[in-house]
Chain A
C-alpha cells in the first residue's frame, strides 16, 4: 500500500519534465473533477470554472487508500480552493495539497496547462 502512495510527489511548474496531454477542455466537466491515467499514476483533474482555474492532484485519498478524489465535490474553505473526499469528507487544499481539517495527511498536487483547448498535466518522471 505504501508503494502506491509514495509514487505521488508534488510537482511544481519549475521541475516539469513532461507536459502530458490528457484530453480536451470539453472532456472535463465544469466545477467538478475527472480522473486521468499517467503511467501507473491516477490523477484527478478539476475544471474549477467558477475561478477560471484548473487543478490536478493524486486520485488516491491517503486516509483509506481509495482511488476516489476525482469524484469528490470541489469548493472552497475560507477562500482556499479544496476538494472533499467522497468517502469520509476529508478536505484537501487544491493549491498545495495540505489537509484543511488540520491533520497531517497530505496529497500531491500537479500543475495544469491549457493550450488551444487541450489539457496538459506536468510530471517530473
Chain B
C-alpha cells in the first residue's frame, strides 16, 4: 500500500483529505496527517465567531472521529522538522521518522510581523489561531479589570485586520485600526469605496487611522502606545498585528525545493513542486508567481493534487484564478469580483454612491457595453451572487448597465431569475458545485429540500456566501416540479408555526402530547416542544407550570440558566420604577443568598448565582414583598423601558413612566414567538431608546407617536413610525392588534423586525390590517388580547403555592443534597462562576 503524508492540518490540508477519500481507489493509499496545532483543522475564515461563543468545536471542519472513520491517521500537536528527499522520509519534532510515497505540503502561512522596535512587548498579538485568540481574550479580560476604557489597536486595515477589529469590539475594548496605505482593504477596494466603508465603520464605533507608518511600540515591558511620528502617538494597551501573511515554506527551503524570491514553494499546474513526489497546496504554494490567500483557490489546489496522486493527470489547475470575495465585516457587506480596479483603457465604470446610507456600488463594463468585467459592492452585497455569475459566465447584460446596480425603485434589478443561469455556472465556488448539480440533485437524485441538496452536493458548506442563491435555486426547482415549498418546524411536524397555531386553536388541542398524536409524528424534540409551549400560552394564557416538561430549561424553572448551571432571578420592575422599600428587599435577599447583583439593560435588577433549590425560597420572600415574576427567562414581554417624563423632567411632554407602567402591566406574562421589548419616551430626545424596541411610544405635542418593529442585538434596527398623535386608548388599541397579529403569524424565534421584513406588503400592509381593519379581524384581535390580559397570573406565585409544582425545584430526586459541582470565585466584592 502506498503512503501519503499530509503536512499541515488547516482548512486546505483537511480539504485534501476530504476530497481524496471521496474518490474511487483512494483505499489503495494510507493517509497520515500531521497538524502543528493541538486541534483538528478548524474554520479560520470564521475565526472571529470564536469571540462571540468561545466554542472551538463549532468551528471544527470535522471531528476526530471523521478521520478515524476514513482510516486517516491524524497526529496533532506535532511539527515536522525535516524532509529527506533521498530516502523519502520526514522527521518530526518528537524525533520520529516516517516514510512516504507522496508528500503533500499544506503548511499554510503565518502572520507577517513587521520589524518594528518594541514588537516583543507584552500585549502584542497576532491573529491566526485559536490559541492566539485565547491569549488575547485573557489579556483583554485583565486589562479591563484595571481599566474599563482600555484601547486596543489593530495594525493592518485589510480584510483580516478589520475582522480583528471586530474581535476587539467583541472583547469590549475601544477599537482602533491603523493602516499604512491611504485606504482600507487596499487589495479589494478603490479609494471611494474605502471612504464609504470607513464612514460606516466609524459610525459603529471603530476608529480608523490611515496613511500611518508605525515607527515604534512604546511602553515599559508591556505596550502603552504606538508612535507614528515625533508628536503623533496613539495610546493603546493592546496591539493585534494583521499586516499580511508569509508562507510557511521553511520545509521547502531546507530540502532544496525551488522557492519564490519572496517565499513560497514553486508549483506547476499539477500542484507538483520541483520534486515530483512532493505536492504543495494552499497558502504555501507559489502558483503563477502568486500566493493565493483565499480559501476557494486553496480548495481547488487540493482537488487537483488529490486527482494527480490518483493518476488523473489531465486534471490541472486553471491559469486564471477567480479572486472574487464577498464577506460581512462587522455587519457590513463588502464584495469585489473580477477586475475591481479597471483602467479606463479597458472599459467604463458605472458607479452608484450614497454616503447617507453607506452604499457604494461599482461595475466595470467593456467598451462595447456587452460584458461585465468586475466590480465592487459596499454596504449592500445582496446582488453579488448574481453579478458574479454574470461575470463568470459572460452572460449578456442590459443595454443600460446601470440597471444592474440602481435601487429597485429606480427601475433597476433586471437580471431576471436564478433559473436563467447556464447549468455550468459555478454557484458554490468553495466546493465547486454548479447550478446544474444543484438542480439535478432534486430533479434526478431525489433530494426533496434544501437540507437534502446540501447533504448531496456540499454546496454552502464552505464560506456560506452562496446560500441565498442555493435557497432560490432549490425553491425554484421544486416549484417548477409542481412541488410545494414548505417551511416546517422540525422533523416531527410538517407545518409552520402559523399553521400549527391555527390547528391547535381550531381543534382545541389540550396539550403537547395530543398535538403530537394528532398532527405530528415521532416523539418530539427541543425545537417543536417550546414552539408548541408558546402556542398554548398565547391561545389560553396557560403558564409555563402546566406543561413544564415541554418548556426550555429557562421556562421549566422560571429562571435563566447561567454559565455554571446556576440560575438568575429577575423580578418585574414595571417601567423601571421602584420604591426604596422594595429596593431594600432586593438588596437583603441578594445578601442573604449571596447573589451577584447587576442592573440590567431593561431597567431592572438581576440576581445571579441562585441554586435550583433556592429559587422557591428566594421567590417566596420576593412575592411576600409584593414582587412578581419578570419573565426574563421566557420568549415573552420583558420590559417597557421609560425615561422620567413630564412628572420630573423639565422637557417632558407627557407622563412616560405612568404610561410605560400601564403598558408593561397590560402585557406582562404575554408569550410570543420571540422576546418582546418596549419603550416609552417623554419627548423626542428619546432617552428611553424606544426606537430600539419592538414597540416604542414617543410623546409629541398632541399625543404619542407609535413606532414598531425595532430591536437592538446582533442586527440592530430602528423601529418604524406606525401612527402619529395617538391618545392613550388608541395607542393601546393599535398595540394590542399589532402584537396579537405578530404572535399569530410569526415563525418561531423571529423577532418583530425580521417578521415585518418578510411580511408581504410591509408596513403599509400592516397599517391596513391594524388601523383600517382590511382583513376584518380587528375585533377578534382586540378580544383575544383582552382575554389574555384578563387571565394573567404570576407563574412564580402559582409555582410556590402548589407543593406539587414546587417539587421540581430540587437538584436530586433521591436526596436533599445540593449540587457540589458548583465552584465560584470572588470578583469585585461579589462572586462569579469559575471559568471553564
Contact = CB atoms under 8 A, between A and B. Distances in A.
Interface of A: 4, 22-23, 27-32, 34-37, 42, 45, 48, 50-51, 60, 63-68, 71-79, 81-82, 84, 86-89, 91, 102-105
A42 B523 contact: no
B813 A35 contact: yes
Nearest to A103: B63
A66 B565 contact: yes
Interface of B: 55, 57, 60, 63-66, 491-492, 513, 516, 522-526, 528-530, 548-550, 552-553, 556-557, 561, 563-565, 808, 811-815, 817, 819, 821, 836
29 contacts: A22-B813, A23-B814, A29-B549, A29-B808, A30-B549, A35-B813, A37-B817, A45-B813, A50-B513, A50-B523, A68-B553, A71-B553, A71-B561, A73-B526, A75-B522, A75-B523, A75-B524, A75-B525, A76-B522, A78-B491, A82-B525, A84-B525, A86-B553, A87-B561, A102-B65, A103-B57, A103-B60, A104-B64, A105-B57
Nearest to B517: A50
Which among B57, B516, B565, B836 has the greatest number of chain A C-beta atoms within 10 A? Answer: B565
B525 A77 contact: yes
B811 to A, nearest CB: 6
Given A64-B836, A73-B552, A34 B813 contact: yes
A7 B556 CA distance: 29
Contacts of A4: 821
A32 B63 contact: no
Contacts of A42: 812, 819, 821
A75 B529 contact: yes
A50 B529 CA distance: 14
B813 A36 contact: yes
A22 B813 CA distance: 8
Contacts of B492: 75
B517 to A, nearest CB: 9
A17 B65 CA distance: 32
Contacts of B529: 73, 75
Nearest to A98: B65
A81 B811 contact: no
Given A65-B836, A75-B492, 19 more contacts: A23-B813, A23-B814, A27-B813, A29-B548, A32-B548, A34-B813, A36-B812, A45-B813, A50-B523, A60-B821, A68-B553, A74-B523, A75-B523, A76-B525, A77-B491, A79-B522, A86-B552, A87-B565, A102-B63
Contact of B565 (A68, A75, A78, A91): A68
A48 B530 CA distance: 18
Nearest to B553: A86
Contacts of B563: 66
A67 B819 contact: yes
A72 B525 contact: no
Chain A to chain B: the 7 pairs with minimum beta-carbon distance, closest first: A86-B553, A32-B549, A75-B525, A84-B526, A103-B63, A75-B524, A73-B526
A37 to B, nearest CB: 5
Which among B524, B549, B813, B821 has the greatest number of chain A C-beta atoms within 10 A? Answer: B813
Given A30-B549, A50-B523, A102-B63, A88 B812 contact: no
Contact of A63 (B57, B808, B814): B57
A82 B529 CA distance: 14
B553 A72 contact: yes
Contacts of A29: 548-549, 808
A28 B549 contact: no
A89 B490 CA distance: 14
A67 B612 CA distance: 12
B553 A35 contact: no
Contacts of A86: 552-553, 561
A30 to B, nearest CB: 7
Contacts of A76: 522-525
Nearest to A102: B63
A4 B65 CA distance: 23
B253 to A, nearest CB: 37
B55 A88 contact: yes
A78 B524 CA distance: 10
Nearest to B820: A40
B523 A37 contact: no
Contact of B815 (A37, A50, A103): A37
Contacts of B513: 31, 50
A51 B524 CA distance: 12
B550 A73 contact: yes
Contact of B564 (A34, A66, A75): A66
Contacts of B836: 64-65
Nearest to B836: A64
A22 B812 CA distance: 10
Contacts of A22: 813-814
A37 B812 contact: yes
Contacts of B528: 75
Contact of A81 (B57, B516, B523, B817): B523
A75 B812 contact: no
A48 B524 CA distance: 11
A72 B819 contact: no
A48 B565 CA distance: 23
A87 B63 CA distance: 20
Given A66-B565, A87-B561, A71 B556 contact: yes
Contacts of B812: 35-37, 42
Nearest to A90: B57
B60 A71 contact: no
A28 B491 CA distance: 27
A37 B525 contact: no
Contacts of B821: 4, 42, 60, 67
